[in-house]
């Protein structure tokens, strides 16, 4: 008895959702490796490492609003308008020949633009009680129209080499966009687990009124949640502009659906109140691996988009089945087993 107890105490604890997602990732890699002999190769994983951050930034931008019981439909257009702010500053101060100071201020302009758009949404939602879906939809339409007006439907291109390196360079064998994403994911993890805002975010998602009566300043918290969401969109805009060496209003529109899918696959409660960064990051890896596998298998782009919708429905159905049947059965079996041990 003592030996087994001692053994269990030194066994690292892996949360069930993390273990399940890692198992699913291994299964996906095994199936795709059997389906294509070109999948399990260095080029595939380099491709995943470069493409993952794009989706990753949008998913992190979507994460906190979802956990708070809200939504942010404007993530892609907030990123694009942030990229336009960056491009405007660079074009004003030298274009492709812009210096370090101009690059610094252009990135600051992008981050400030994203944060400002998020702050406006959060302030309206918090102070008026309006639906986050309607407010973010309004912001999405506004930013899209503003971007089309400013660019006249075209794009802005031609950035300095340093900016392009941020989106396509490698540091110590690791793509720079991936390093930026991992840093942002770590920051989000700390915010959600170690800060008052992270605690308030989960409380607001569970019950807004109860949170307000408990003494938490919900108006300030909701405003900050959407401001941070917009800030992450600003980072996404900078990295996308650096990768494509151009900014266009429609960049990344398809990522809206997949970012929601990544959050739900990563065990974020669609009604708010629960969600963690680590499972969501693993879910991102799974989705990006599937996307790369579909590309290698020659799947049509429109068919792939349809498959994401089917996959989202499948995730929701599985979660419903787990909550209403499988998990309850496991709990009953565990309780029965514990009673037998006690007796």
- Kindly report, residue by residue over 107-132, the tens digit of the pLDDT: 999 999 999 999 999 999 999 989 99
Rounded to two decimals, the pTM is: 0.85
CA distance linking residue 74 with residue 229, whole number of Å: 10
Q: How much is the mean pLDDT over the chain?
A: 84
Mind giving me the DSSP string for 100-139?
Answer: HHHHHHHHHHHHHHHHHHHHHHHHHHHHH---HHHHHHHH
Q: Are 32 and 158 in contact (CB under 8 A)?
A: no
Q: Which of 87-101, 106-120, 139-153, 270-284 is predicted with the least confidence, judged by mean pLDDT?
A: 87-101
pLDDT band at 11 (very low <50, low <70, confident <90, very high): very low
pLDDT exceeds 80 at position 276: yes
- Kindly report, residue by residue over 29-68, the tens digit of the pLDDT: 888 888 777 777 778 788 888 889 988 999 999 999 999 9
pLDDT exceeds 70 at position 183: yes
pLDDT number for residue 322: 65
CA distance linking residue 65 with residue 77, whole number of Å: 16
278 burial via Cβ count (<10 Å: 0-12, 13-18, 19+): middle
Mind giving me the DSSP string for 136-204?
Answer: HHHHHHHHHHHHHHHHTT-EEE---HHHHHHHH-EETTEEHHHHHHHHHHHHHHHHHHHSHHHHHHHHH
CA distance linking residue 186 with residue 192, whole number of Å: 10
Q: Which of 85-99, 105-119, 123-137, 279-293 is predicted with the least confidence, judged by mean pLDDT?
A: 85-99
Mind giving me the DSSP string for 196-254?
Answer: HHHHHHHHHHH-HHHHHHTT--HHHHHHHHHHHHHHHHHHHHHHHHHHHTEEETTTTTT
pLDDT exceeds 50 at position 5: no
> Three-state SS for 272?
coil
pLDDT exceeds 50 at position 7: no
- Categorise residue 95: left if φ over 0, alpha if ψ from -120 to 50, beta otherwise: left
Mind giving me the DSSP string for 37-85?
Answer: TTTSSHHHHHHHHHHHHHHHHHHHHHHHHHHTT---TTHHHHHHHHHHH
Q: Which of 81-85, 117-121, 163-167 is predicted with the least confidence, judged by mean pLDDT?
A: 163-167
pLDDT exceeds 90 at position 274: no
- Kindly report, residue by residue over 211-245, the tens digit of the pLDDT: 888 888 999 999 999 999 999 999 999 999 888 88
Nearest to 71 by CA among 3, 8, 121: 121
């Amino acid at each position: 008895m003592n030996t087994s107890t001692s053994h269990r105490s030194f066994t690292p604890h892996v949360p069930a959702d993390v273990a399940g997602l890692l198992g699913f990732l291994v299964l996906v890699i095994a199936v795709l490796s059997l389906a294509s002999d070109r999948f399990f190769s260095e080029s595939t994983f380099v491709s995943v490492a470069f493409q993952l951050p794009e989706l990753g930034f949008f998913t992190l931008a979507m994460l906190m609003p979802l956990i708070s019981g809200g939504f942010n439909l404007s993530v892609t257009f907030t990123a694009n308008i942030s990229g336009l702010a960056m491009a405007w500053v660079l074009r004003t101060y030298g274009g492709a020949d812009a210096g370090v100071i101009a690059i610094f201020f252009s990135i600051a302009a992008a981050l400030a633009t994203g944060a400002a758009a998020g702050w406006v949404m959060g302030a309206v939602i918090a102070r008026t009680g309006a639906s986050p879906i309607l407010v973010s939809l309004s912001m999405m339409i506004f930013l899209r129209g503003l971007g089309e007006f400013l660019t006249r439907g075209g794009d802005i291109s031609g950035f300095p080499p340093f900016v392009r390196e941020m989106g396509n360079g490698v540091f110590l064998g690791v793509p720079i966009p991936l390093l930026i994403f991992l840093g942002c994911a770590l920051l989000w993890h700390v915010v959600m687990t170690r800060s008052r805002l992270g605690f308030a975010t989960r409380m607001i998602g569970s019950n807004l009124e109860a949170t307000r009566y408990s003494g938490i300043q919900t108006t300030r918290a909701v405003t900050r949640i959407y401001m941070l969401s917009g800030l992450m969109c600003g980072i996404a805009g900078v990295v996308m502009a650096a990768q494509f060496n151009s900014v266009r209003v429609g960049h990344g529109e398809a990522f809206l659906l997949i970012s929601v899918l990544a959050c739900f696959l990563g065990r974020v409660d669609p009604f708010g109140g629960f969600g963690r960064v680590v499972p969501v990051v693993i879910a991102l890896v799974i989705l990006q691996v599937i996307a790369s596998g579909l590309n290698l298998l020659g799947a049509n782009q429109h068919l792939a988009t349809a498959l994401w919708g089917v996959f989202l429905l499948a995730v929701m159905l599985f979660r419903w089945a787990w909550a209403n049947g499988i998990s309850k059965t496991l709990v009953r079996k565990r309780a029965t087993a514990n009673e037998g041990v006690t007796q």
